[in-house]
Structure 1
Amino acid sequence: MEPMVDLQELISRAGDAVVVCDVHGSIILWNRAAERMFGYTEAEALGQSLDLIIPEKLRARHWDGYRKTMATGVTRYGADVLQVPAIDKAGRQFSIAFTVSLLHSADGAVTAIASIIRDDTRRFEKDRAQRMRISELEALLTHAQKVTGI
Structure 2
Amino acid sequence: MTFRNADKAAGIAEGDLTGLADAVFHDIPDAVICADYEGLIRFWNAGAERIFGFSRDEAVGQSLEIIIPERLRQRHWDAYRRMMETGRSRHPSNEPLSVPAQTKSGQTISIQFTVAPLPGPYGVVAGIVAVLRYATATFQELRRLRADKRGM
| TM band (smaller chain) | 0.7 to 0.9
With structure 1 as the length reference, what TM-score do the two structures score?
0.86
**Paired residue total:** 137
Q: Which has the larger radius of gyration?
A: 1
Aligned residue among 52, 75, 78 for 2:93: 78
The 1-side partners of 2:27 and 2:70 are apart by 30
Aligned to 2:26: 12
Aligned to 2:128: 113
Unmatched 5+ stretches in structure 2: 1-12
Aligned to 1:145: none
Aligned residue among 112, 132, 143 for 1:97: 112
The 1-side partners of 2:130 and 2:83 are apart by 13
2:74 aligned with 1:60: yes
The 1-side partners of 2:117 and 2:14 are apart by 27
CA RMSD, 1 decimal:
1.3
The 2-side partners of 1:2 and 1:109 are apart by 34
* Displacement of 1:61: 0.7
Aligned to 1:51: 65
2:151 aligned with 1:132: no
* Displacement of 1:133: 1.0
Does the 8 Å CA contact 1:77/1:99 hold for their aligned counterparts?
Answer: no
Find the residue that maps to 2:33 and give its secondary structure: strand
Aligned to 1:144: none
* CA displacement, residues 1-34 of structure 1 (integer Å, 9 cap, x when unaligned): 7643311232110110000001111000000110
Unmatched 5+ stretches in structure 1: 138-150
With structure 2 as the length reference, what TM-score do the two structures score?
0.85
2:37 aligned with 1:23: yes
The 2-side partners of 1:119 and 1:4 are apart by 32
The 2-side partners of 1:64 and 1:107 are apart by 24
